[in-house]
Amino acid sequence: MKIKKKKDIFFETLENMADTVVQAADYFSQHVSNLQDVTLFANEMKKYESQCDDYVHTIITELNKTFITPIERDDIMELTTTLDDVLDGIEATASRFYMYNLVDPDEYIVQFAEILRQSAYEIQKAIHLLSQKKLLAIREYTIRLNDLENQGDEVLRNCIKNLFATVSDPIELIKRKEIYERLETTTDDCEHVANVLESIIMRNS
């Protein structure tokens, strides 16, 4: 009987984090275009963020007691931090919908949500390849993440231009602008994951 090799705790936890990012981005994208209960929306996103925090804690605990790690300790910690930043960004945006009682997200927010959803899937594929030590194959996904971040920049330019052209209420303008910028920053966080993966590829291949 062939015994299945136990997966490394660091790779397993990073995979779990990436899977949670996908679940959160999927939920955000599916619900943001038709927000019926903004309190439920924010609470559900908080659950994903808390789950990701638990994985961060697991990795820090394991790093403190493990002598030999599958890749550099600093790389594991940086990858953990950047993955957590992505989920923090999505959750922070959802919490703004709740705080500002924003129940009518516009087309730009929906576009950002789709970019983040696609980015989450690229991250997930890349992290699972990292676990399999298929480093060079990861590059396809880091390139895609860079492209998606560029799309986020373009959406931000368009929505800010439209915002100042069409919204005269200063309070509404401030609320929308903060949410747009927070979403664009989260696409930057996705690109940061790609940059960390690129540095891991260079050092280990």
pLDDT digits (tens, 9 = 90+) for 169-198: 999 999 999 999 999 999 999 999 999 999
Say if CB 70 and CB 170 are below 8 A apart: no
Confidence at residue 114, expressed as pLDDT on a 0 to 100 scale: 97
Alpha carbons within 13 angstroms on the beta-carbon side of residue 182 total 18
Task: Please write the tens of the pLDDT for every residue from 77-133.
Answer: 999 999 999 999 999 999 999 999 888 889 999 999 999 999 999 999 999 999 998
pTM (predicted TM-score): 0.94
Residue range 30-59: mean pLDDT, rounded: 94
Domain boundaries defined on the chain: 9-204
Q: Which CATH class is domain 9-204?
A: mainly alpha
Q: Which two tokens stand for residue 18?
A: 């990436």
With vertex at residue 126, the alpha carbon angle to CA 4 and CA 15, rounded to the nearest 5 degrees, is: 50
Confidence at residue 203, expressed as pLDDT on a 0 to 100 scale: 87
Residue range 129-146: mean pLDDT, rounded: 94
Say if CB 173 and CB 163 are below 8 A apart: yes
| Predicted confidence band of residue 1 (pLDDT cuts 50, 70, 90) | low
| Predicted confidence band of residue 5 (pLDDT cuts 50, 70, 90) | low
Alpha-carbon span 191 to 82, nearest angstrom: 9
| Predicted confidence band of residue 16 (pLDDT cuts 50, 70, 90) | very high
